[in-house]
Structure formats: structure tokens, C-alpha cells
Amino acid sequence: MDKISSIRGMPDVFESDTNYLAELNEVLSKIFLSHNLNEVNTPILEQTELFVRSTGVTSDIVNKEIYSFNDRNEQSLSLRPEGTAGVVRSIIQKKLDNAEHKLWYQGPMFRYERPQKGRFRQFNQAGVELLGFEEGSSDLEIISIVCDIFIELELEDSVLKINHLGDKDTKEKFLLELLKYMKSYKGDLNDNDTEKLNKNPLRLLDSKDVDLKEFLDKIQSIFGKYVEIELDSSLVRGLDYYTGLVFEAVSSNLGAQDSFLGGGRYDGLSKDLGGKEMPAIGFAIGLERLNLIKKHKNIKSNKVISFVTTSSKMNALAFKIAQLLRSHNYDIRLETNFTDASLKAKLRKASKLGAKFVFIMGEEEFESDTITVKSFDEDGYQVNMSFDEILDFYKDI
Ligand code: HAM
């Protein structure tokens, strides 16, 4: 029969590929906790309309990259291409859009892009959203979180580019002026640009408001000693909801897909989604890209112990003891081997696994309620222990 393979751009991730998701989740959640953020989980599937209204009808995400289908009820649903829209939708739905929220999330996102190094169709993001906060301190707080990620994961050869698109009113005024100006050049634009001009002219040009430079300089002066920060007036971002501060982190070690973190302020999104006025700012990091550039090494428990019996008739007792042992120390990888295979084969397997000790339950041990501990160290000692003794021993490994 034909074999079934995974979908292009949607890789399986095994621990042997280094379990970056668990590792990054551990480091990032610690940073997020230290900033007093709360975790939120929103569904992977949402109504397509949510992404049309948030990321924008002209964005590549909605036009070319979204995975949409009709469900059995003929309702158009989409796999989320990003996390911000779902979080804002959920806060509005819970009628919490009149309060402040500091949230973080992690999970898979889906975009129909051409797969290549660092670019997938299913990838993972960790994101932060500060909702209900006006421009000012919250922008600095966001950059401070980004700095902690740079420091903690030892991201070298990385630069944080920042720009300011103007606040919502400035952005609107600016757009009107720009539209008038650009209309006179309409003949020179290609179809794609003409469409952008009609729907979101901001994406054709960057903002050049001089006053805003002060704000960007302030960010640079506070955080510049931790992270290389570059003012980049051409930075506009590919999602339509941004106003104010926008930023992107790039690494020279990533090749063509060099941006691994992106975010900005989106003061108008809540209203666009039918909610109250709720100024907000946030960012997301691509975990696959982060994994390619981080220098930080996880110190994962590599303490392996193999627990073997000499006959499967001891299974009930052996499983009871294994259960107890684990509950005394979850840092140890306890490998159990309770089959009828020979003890010699089991010892060989334990040694191959890199076990520090083997716990052996043979006939004699079974009769006397004991376990023999054999060390695989050079001294190679062997001791017989009561169940209580072995629990204490296990706790202290
Ligand atoms: P974004 O820039 O579209 O922003 O995506 C953020 C990060 O997700 C990128 O910097 C990249 O690392 C990763 N990423 C995007 N597409 C792919 C892909 N096809 N394969 C692998 N990684 C990818 C957002 O998604 C916004 N929601 C960020 C935000 C939060 N803005 C405000 N709050």
C-alpha cells in the first residue's frame, strides 16, 4: 500500500532534533512571568472574517497565505496565520475590552508560504500582547521584554530595527495626503501597487514624522546597551493593523528569512473587530528561527536509570515501585524494561542508553522485597536495598 506522508512545510519534531519547543517554552515563560504576564490560549481555528478584518484584505497573509475552508455548515473557517487577532477577539468576546491585560501565548500558526530554511507552513510562535495601554511606558515595557529574550538566549549577530508609523490620527491624515500625492503618479505603479494604493497606501511609503524620532531615540538610549537597536524608517511590517511603534529583529545568521521577531502598536484593532477603544502593543517570535540562532544551551536532565526485572511475573510490583520512584524525582529518566528477555540483554541495553545505574529485581529480590542497585561507574559497585532505602537513594540522585 502507498505510504502516507506529512504535508509539505509541516515538519514532525522529535526530541532527537533537539526539543526546541519545550526548551524555548521554558526559557520564554520564565521571562514572561518575570514581567507579570498571564498565559492565554486561543483556538487554532477562527472565522475567516477575523483575519480579513485584522491583518487586512491587502496583506499577503490574507491574500495568498491563509488556509481556509468551509465547514459542514458552509461557514468559512481559517487556520490562524498569527496570534494577535484571536487574542483581541477573545478579550472583546469576554467583554474585557475596558481593562488592561498583559498576556502571552505560544502555539502553532499556519501560512501557505513556499517552504525553505526557516520558513514553514506550520510553525510556532510565542507572542506577547499588552492590551489597554496607551503609547508610552507600555512601548518601553515591550522592548524591555524583547531585550530579556536577547540576553537570556544569547542572541548574537542580531539587530532590533524600530520605526514609528505615527499615531492613529497622524496615520489617517498622513494617508490622505499621501493618497493625493500618489494619485498623480498612478500611471507609474504596477497592478499590485495600485491595489495597495487604493486599499492601504501606507504600505507604499514609510512615515517621516520628525517629532517621533525623539521617542525612538529614547528607546535606543535606554535599551541600546543590551541590544543593538537601529532606526529604520523603511520598516512598515506586512500586517495592516499597525499604528505607532513597529519593530523587527533580524539576524545575519538566518539567510533570506532573516527576521525572527516582529511586532508593534495596534491601537485601532479592537474597534475594527467591534470592540471598545483599546490601545495595544505586542510582538511575536518565530520559535523555529529563534532555535537556529540562539547560543543558549539547555541543561537538560541526562540522568538515565534503567529498572529491569528478570521475569514478567514481577510486573505488578515493579510498576508500583517505578510509579513511586518517579514521584520522588521527576528529573530522572527512568527507563523500565520488564519483559522476559535475558538479564544480560537488558544490562547491555541499559549501558547503551547511558544509564548511570541499573535497578535489578530478580527472583531473590522479589522474594525479599529488595532491589539490587548496580552502578555503571568505574567503581561498578552493587548494593542490595530495601524499598524505603531505594526511594531515599532515588530522591538524592
Ligand atoms: P509576523 O512578523 O508576521 O508578526 O510574525 C512573527 C514571526 O513569526 C516572524 O518574525 C517569524 O519569526 C515567524 N514566522 C512568520 N512566518 C513564518 C513562517 N512561514 N515560517 C516560520 N516562521 C515564521 C505577527 O505574526 C504578529 N502577530 C506579531 C504581533 C503581535 N504584533 C503585535 N502583536
pLDDT tens digits, one per residue of 282-317: 999 999 999 999 887 766 667 899 999 999 899 999
Q: Which of 42, 123, 141, 242 to mutate to test the pocket of ligand 1 (most atoms within 8 A of CB)?
A: 123
Give me the pLDDT at residue 378, please: 80
Domains of the chain, with CATH numbers? 15-165+207-293 (3.30.930.10), 169-205 (no CATH), 304-396 (3.40.50.800)
Q: Which of ligand 1's atoms lies nearest the C-alpha of 84?
A: 27
The whole-number average pLDDT for the span 133-151 is: 95
Residue 375, by phi and psi: left (phi above 0), alpha (psi -120 to 50) or beta?
A: beta
Burial 34-64 (b: 16+ CB within 10 A, else e): eeebeebebeeebebebbbbbbbebbebbee
Q: Does pLDDT of 238 surpass 80?
A: yes
Burial 207-226 (b: 16+ CB within 10 A, else e): beeeebeebbeebbeebeee
Range with the largest mean pLDDT of 70-79, 162-171, 235-244: 70-79
Tell me the average pLDDT across 9-38: 89
What average pLDDT does range 180-207 have in this prediction? 62
Encode pLDDT of 261-285 as tens digits. Answer: 999 999 999 999 999 999 999 999 9
As a whole number, mean pLDDT of residues 222-235 equals: 92
CA of 83 to the centre of ligand 1 (A): 9
Band (205; pLDDT cuts 50, 70, 90): very low
The single-letter code of the amino acid at 42 is T
The Å distance, Cα 248 to ligand 1 centre, comes to 10
109 C-alpha to ligand 1 centroid (Å): 9
Q: Whose CA is nearest to atom 17 of ligand 1?
A: 119
Q: Is the pLDDT of residue 356 over 80?
A: yes
pLDDT > 60? residue 147: yes
pLDDT in tens, 371-389: 999 999 888 899 999 999 9
Distance 76 CA to ligand 1 centre (A): 23
Residue whose CA lies nearest to ligand 1 atom number 4: 262
Distance (Å) from CA 284 to ligand 1 centroid: 6
Distance CA 200, CA 290 (A): 31
Q: Please report which confidence band the pLDDT of residue 228 belongs to, taking 50, 70 and 90 as the band edges.
A: very high
Three cell numbers, residue 270: 479592537
Q: Which of the four pLDDT bands, split at 50, 70 and 90, describes residue 55?
A: confident
The residue whose CA has the least distance to atom 21 of ligand 1 is 119
Predicted local distance difference test score (pLDDT) of residue 377: 85
Checking if the pLDDT of 191 tops 80, the result is: no
The pocket around ligand 1, CB under 6 angstroms, is made up of 82-84, 111, 113, 119-120, 123, 125, 127, 129, 239, 259-264, 266, 282-284, 286, 288-289
How far is the centre of ligand 1, averaged over its atoms, from the C-alpha of 344 (Å)?
Answer: 52
Give the whole-number percent of the chain exceeding pLDDT 90: 70
Q: Contact, 257 vs 299, CB < 8 A? A: no
Indicate the range of 22-26, 87-91, 242-246 predicted with least confidence. 22-26
Per-residue pLDDT band for 48 (boundaries 50, 70, 90) equals very high
CB 228 within 8 A of CB 160: yes
Q: Which residues contact 103 (CB under 8 A, 6 or more apart)?
A: 37, 38, 39, 40, 87, 128, 129, 130, 131
126, 24 Cβ separation under 8 angstroms = yes
Mean pLDDT of the region 34-57: 94
The chain-wide mean pLDDT, for the chain, equals: 89
Q: What is the pLDDT of residue 49?
A: 96
> Separation of 256 CA from ligand 1 center, angstroms?
15
Which residue has its alpha carbon closest to ligand 1 atom 30?
A: 283
- Atom index in ligand 1 nearest the CA of residue 249 equals 10
State residue 173's pLDDT score: 64
Residue 318 makes CB contacts below 8 A (sequence gap 6+) with 307, 309, 336, 338, 361
What is the chain's length?
Answer: 397
Give residue 209's pLDDT band: very low, low, confident or very high (50, 70, 90): low
C-alpha 274 to ligand 1 mean position (Å): 24
- The owner of cell 520628525 is 210
pLDDT value at residue 61: 84
Q: How confident is the model at residue 207 (pLDDT cuts 50, 70, 90)?
A: very low
